[in-house]
Amino acid sequence: MAHLSRLEFTEQELETFFRDLNNILVHFEKLDTLDLSNVSPTSHITWTSPPVNPDQPVEWGREEEVMRAAPKVEDRYFIVPKIVDKQEG
Amino acid sequence: MNNLKITIGLEVHCQLSTRAKMFCRCGTDYIGKGPNSLTCPVCLGLPGSLPVLNQRVLDLALQLALALGCRILPKVVFHRKNYFYPDLPKGYQVSQYDYPIGVNGSIDYALQGQRKSVRIKRVHVEEDAGKLVHEGMALMPDQSGVDFNRSGIPLAEIVTEPDIRSPEEARECLMMFRSLVRYLEVSDGNMEEGSLRCDANISLSRNPGEMGVKVEVKNMNSFRSVYRALSFEVERQKVLLHEGKEISQETRHWDEIKHVTVSSRGKEEAEDYRYFPDPDLLPFSIDEASLMNIREKLPELPLERKERFMLEYELTESEAGVLVSSKMLADFFEECLKELNKPKTVCNWITTEVLRNLKNLGKNINQSEITPKAFTELLRMIEKKEISGTIAKSVLEEMFTSGMNAREVISKRGISFISSEKELENIVVDVIENNPQSVADYLGGKQKAFNFLVGQVMRQTRGQASPEMVKNVLYKQLSAGG
């Protein structure tokens, strides 16, 4: 999981996370014992018509503020560490 | 080794032609715009921002799914597809999972006169990611630049069943997808600009009853590279099977320069996207009335139109194919027929001269100055033998560049085109009088002498008479004189 999320941890941190995640899994195992065969999965509680946007562009106009807030900007690009081992479609 | 079974399935992404992005009001017209100029808190993934669906995204996706004969699912649900990558500011892409827009459709295309069908597994919508730039600017080798102008642009993803049997079929099928999205006007379908993208799954098997090991091929940016990449894969896998080696299940990238596919290293050990319904986007039901409305407005699709052109106008498959490859061109053709009902002539001129001029100007027919009225007027002048085909070609060229009609071009150039037979007769009589030897030779049976006389008349008229008409008049005069 640390690899997938591209995070680096010390051995000690990993141990802590291992314990925490394990506790979470144990908790879910407890939930799994409930009989939910008559309950359908619920992701949202409302099923009304949500608001929609018309297909007309509106300029936000505050891009400069974002540029100023970014840690590093070059030629209006946000600069990030290079990652090349994954090419997502 | 020749009885290997090839199995190919396609995954096609096309950018939907909306003016605003999928979940915010930022514009989608990013070509030529400065980096990060079409952005806002939603498509930058800033905390606290909330997405609102652009109604048109749903309409376009429904049109596409209906045109592909899909069953439309009654509910629209958006899922989050989670992965970490710098071009994805939220850490997830809004996509669809167990409730795509449509399922179980099909697309038909023709290859060498044979109609083929590929089943469509699903059509769903999702948002595009940003764009990473790895070189240029003052970038350090370990840095990349991110431009979020593309982030949040709506895409439709079409997944086919593995029904394709050869690289040729894959290319044809993809071209039919392009025609289809262009006909529907749901996408501009431009592969070079990335508004149409295609990945493929391909496997080879010795046993026709079972599928081989699936290899995914990515990074094919043109119809030609789809064909080349898949042909390369067929050969590569054939050799491996022949040598008794295993084919590994992997993702490979097409290298456009070296013309090979290369295994992508560092494949994720577990591609777990942890899909779950997006809590920020409420699911909703598709209203039956608007679905009916969309269904009724679907235009005639390219394959049907091609077959109708062949039947109704007696065109060959390739002629009809060229005309229907673009809806605009096919519409232009049919508009012309309303002015001049000569399908073959109109088709010949469109598929040669009109397309050549458009290509030179880098325009499509609707961007050009030519109207069906002006174009058919020119064709009618050729028919009436007022001008020759050769002159008509150069007149047409100027019509394209100047926007003038045929008569304006002709009078501007001072071409006093020879329209009356009387005028031509005088020139012919002159030529006959001045070339008694050739006349005698012709009457003595030398066909060459006739051609010489035609040449002389053409010279006198400075090429402004139609050769057909010159021959007729000359023949008449010689017969009368002889």
- Give the whole-angstrom CA distance, residue B314 versus residue B48: 61
- Best probe of the A interface among B16, B26, B36, B253, by most A CBs < 10 A, is B36
Residues B164 and B72 placed together within one structural domain of the fold: yes
Asked whether the predicted pLDDT for residue A86 surpasses 60, the reply is: no
Shortest alpha-carbon distance between residue A82 and chain B (Å): 4
Tell me the chain A residues in contact with residue B13 when contact means C-beta distances shorter than 8 Å.
Answer: 89
Q: Say which of A51, A57, A86 has its CB closest to residue B27.
A: A57
Model pLDDT, residue B458 = 83
- Give the whole-angstrom CA distance, residue B155 versus residue B152: 9
Which residue, among B377, B378, B370, has the nearest Cα to B403 in the 3D structure?
B370
Tell me the chain B residues in contact with residue A43 when contact means C-beta distances shorter than 8 Å.
Answer: 77, 276-277, 279, 283
The per-residue b/e assignment along A43-58, b for 16 or more CB within 10 angstroms, e otherwise, is eeeeeeeeeebebebe
Last residue of a domain, one of B252, B269, B291: B291
Residues B142 and B194 placed together within one structural domain of the fold: yes
Last residue of a domain, one of B379, B394, B412: B412
Contact B28, B150 (CB under 8 A): no
Three-state DSSP state, B327:
helix
- The structural domains of chain A, with segments of one domain joined by +, span 9-34
Which residue, among B338, B322, B342, has the nearest Cα to B371 in the 3D structure?
B338
Residues B111 and B207 placed together within one structural domain of the fold: yes
Three-state DSSP state, B137:
coil
Shortest alpha-carbon distance between residue B125 and chain A (Å): 14
> What is the number of domains present in chain B?
3
Model pLDDT, residue A88 = 42
List the domain range (segments joined by +) for residue B337. 300-412
Tell me the chain A residues in contact with residue B285 when contact means C-beta distances shorter than 8 Å.
Answer: 47
Q: State the count of interchain CB pairs (< 8 A) between A and B.
A: 148
Last residue of a domain, one of B412, B441, B460: B412
| Residues in chain A whose Cβ is within 8 Å of chain B | 3-6, 43-44, 46-60, 62-63, 66-67, 74-89
Q: Say which of B24, B46, B265 has its CB closest to residue A85.
A: B265
- Give the whole-angstrom CA distance, residue B262 versus residue B214: 15
Q: CATH number of the domain at B459, please.
A: 1.10.10.410
- Best probe of the A interface among B144, B251, B263, B269, by most A CBs < 10 A, is B144
H helices of A1-89, in order, are 11-32, 63-69
Model pLDDT, residue B108 = 93
Model pLDDT, residue B2 = 60
- Give the whole-angstrom CA distance, residue B153 versus residue B17: 9
- Give the whole-angstrom CA distance, residue B461 versus residue B470: 10
Say if the Cβ atoms of B282 and A46 lie within 8 Å. yes
Contact B282, B41 (CB under 8 A): no
Q: Which residue of chain B is at minimal alpha-carbon distance from A47?
A: B284
Rg of chain B over Cα atoms, rounded to whole angstroms, equals 30
Residues B54 and B89 placed together within one structural domain of the fold: yes
Handedness of CA B213, B202, B185, B72 (dihedral sign): negative
- Give the whole-angstrom CA distance, residue B273 versus residue B270: 9
Q: Say which of A5, A66, A77 has its CB closest to residue B147.
A: A77
- Give the whole-angstrom CA distance, residue B26 versus residue B20: 5
Query: Residue range A28-44: average pLDDT?
Result: 85
Three-state DSSP state, B404:
coil
- Give the whole-angstrom CA distance, residue B196 versus residue B220: 10
- Give the whole-angstrom CA distance, residue B345 versus residue B342: 6
Tell me, rounded to whole angstroms, the distance of Cα A36 from its chain centroid.
Answer: 28
Model pLDDT, residue B409 = 84
Q: Say which of B55, B77, B281 has its CB closest to residue A53.
A: B55
Residues B150 and B254 placed together within one structural domain of the fold: yes
Residues B229 and B89 placed together within one structural domain of the fold: yes
- Give the whole-angstrom CA distance, residue B144 versus residue B141: 8
Residues B256 and B306 placed together within one structural domain of the fold: no
Say if the Cβ atoms of B84 and A5 lie within 8 Å. yes
Rg of chain A over Cα atoms, rounded to whole angstroms, equals 22
Show pLDDT as tens, one digit a residue, over chain B (482 residues): 567 899 999 999 999 999 999 999 999 999 889 999 999 999 999 999 999 999 999 999 999 999 999 999 999 999 999 998 999 999 999 999 999 999 999 999 988 878 899 999 999 999 999 999 988 777 788 899 999 999 999 999 999 999 999 999 999 999 999 989 999 999 999 998 889 999 999 999 988 888 889 999 998 999 999 999 999 999 999 999 999 888 989 999 999 999 999 998 655 545 689 999 999 999 999 988 989 999 999 998 888 899 999 999 999 988 998 999 888 999 999 999 999 999 999 999 999 999 999 999 888 898 888 999 999 999 998 888 778 788 888 889 989 988 888 888 877 776 655 556 677 788 888 888 888 888 888 888 888 888 888 888 888 877 667 777 788 888 888 887 54
- Give the whole-angstrom CA distance, residue A64 versus residue B44: 13
Residues B347 and B436 placed together within one structural domain of the fold: no
Q: Which two tokens stand for residue A18?
A: 């291992």
- Give the whole-angstrom CA distance, residue B325 versus residue B315: 14
